[in-house]
Structure 1
């Protein structure tokens, strides 16, 4: 089914994350249902066991062939022991967790968590559900690390809880990655991951003489702006640069770094120079 009257430039991706455990996860469907209901209202336990399925009756989507379909959350225990090497890329692009390597090395068990039938909900609703589910799983106990699949990073569970308590609602939802360009000495690339979850492009910026810390904040804030407002920056539009004075040209392009996707490329060169280059 497709959501009724929904034709965005980019269809939202399903969100998913992996809760990683040092010991087998102790998950009880009714316990999780009750905890989630405290945050999200009416929740039904549809299935229990190795796969727990929860229906969110206060978060419904209208489809062209059926109205008022509750969104659902699937919590699935992996059948095989996890391999920490599968998370090498996420480990490399995790910047704020000094103990990430030692935490990941402890992990042996994986629980996959994803939304189902929920992509037609609004961005605030989907964020609320994602954050509620992550909080409930962490507070249930035993989570050593979280692999935030859509954002390509690892999260310290306790830091995640604290960040949200401090009001940083996009922490762990959007991640900024950093790359050196091997065949172009001095050139660097930053891009974001996470926007596609909400049907908007990620942001990328190729640069050489800017402060990476400032570029990181700029890329993150621009990505959050797109998540909140939609894909509203058209090709040829400009955005204010880091200094607040310069104008940086924008264009939708294929991403320079995997995964393959459409991104909003922002050129930090002066507008006239960027126009000549294009």
Structure 2
């Protein structure tokens, strides 16, 4: 764990915008050519379902995901999947605060961010209108297609959550269903509070799906237990929707496992750790820290 001291930065100008595009950055050591239109159509359709290419000009490739339609007040349109041409990448733009929470790639993190000089950016468009679980499925199927289309990709970076994965770990992952989005698209972060025994665990990435991020401010409990609890609650919210209201409770943790013998109350509060956003704060009872 990093011993570096970071400061809170809750500048409202840096606040999250829920429902924004889900961005996938593919990182490379050498420039990567955009695959042919025919190749991209075949691979994306294999993973995503029926698609229609509406743009492939060497700078941008765009595909309409015909099985995923965004419903608006006066029309229904297919969600779009976009891929850019390869451009320069500077890993130094990813600061120490973001690097400190790249738990899935700690050993390779600095090597990847130092050696990768190029990137391809992929994103969904109009997908904010989809139900959360459906969008999560689409984005992860798109990720699988990208990993096949770009075999020389070194790593995948997800800006909305700050997660970094080696390309090899993405290709060999066997997580199923919407849990794929929780694994790749949601980061459970951990912080020690300076000059105290307090700790903070929170999530980052849920707001892309218009779901609440979670927050735990606590002491006296193994933080790994809290991290596992956060992943479980995040998965529950993705599967069930935003069904936890102010004052309701979730099962707590007893001996490292979620247990209905203990209930922790929930309340929507301002985040303690940047970026500024509303989070679902989970009060851990006798282990809770701070005031609520």
1-structure distance, mates of 2:55, 2:98: 31
1:174 aligned onto 2:181: no
1:159 aligned onto 2:159: no
Give the match for residue 272 of structure 2.
256
Contact kept in structure 2, 1:90 and 1:154, CA below 8 Å: no
Contact kept in structure 2, 1:246 and 1:270, CA below 8 Å: no
Give the match for residue 122 of structure 1.
131
1-structure distance, mates of 2:18, 2:73: 16
Give the match for residue 283 of structure 2.
267
Aligned length: 264
Contact kept in structure 1, 2:23 and 2:122, CA below 8 Å: yes
1:247 alignment partner, SS class:
strand
1:139 aligned onto 2:148: yes
How large is the Cα RMSD of the aligned pairs?
A: 2.2
Bigger shift: 20-29 or 156-165? 156-165
Contact kept in structure 1, 2:47 and 2:145, CA below 8 Å: no
Tell me how far 1:77 sits from its aligned partner. 2.9
1-structure distance, mates of 2:129, 2:198: 39
Tell me how far 1:73 sits from its aligned partner. 0.7
1:187 aligned onto 2:198: yes
Give the match for residue 91 of structure 1.
99
Tell me how far 1:87 sits from its aligned partner. 2.2
Tell me how far 1:157 sits from its aligned partner. 1.7
Unaligned runs of 5+ in 2: 1-16
1:226 aligned onto 2:234: no
How do 1:20-169 and structure 2 match up within 5 A? 20-28=27-35, 29-48=37-56, 49-67=58-76, 69-77=77-85, 79=87, 81-88=88-95, 89-97=97-105, 98-140=107-149, 141-164=151-174, 169=180
Give the match for residue 247 of structure 1.
263
TM-score by length of structure 2 reads 0.83
How do 1:14-25 and structure 2 match up within 5 A? 14-25=21-32
Bigger shift: 96-105 or 229-238? 96-105
Unaligned runs of 5+ in 1: 1-9
1-structure distance, mates of 2:71, 2:94: 36
Note the alpha carbon deviations across 1:17-56, whole angstroms, 9 max, x for none. 2111111122223311210111222211111111111111
Bigger shift: 230-239 or 91-100? 91-100
TM-score by length of structure 1 reads 0.87
Note the alpha carbon deviations across 1:154-184, whole angstroms, 9 max, x for none. 11222122223577523212110111112x4
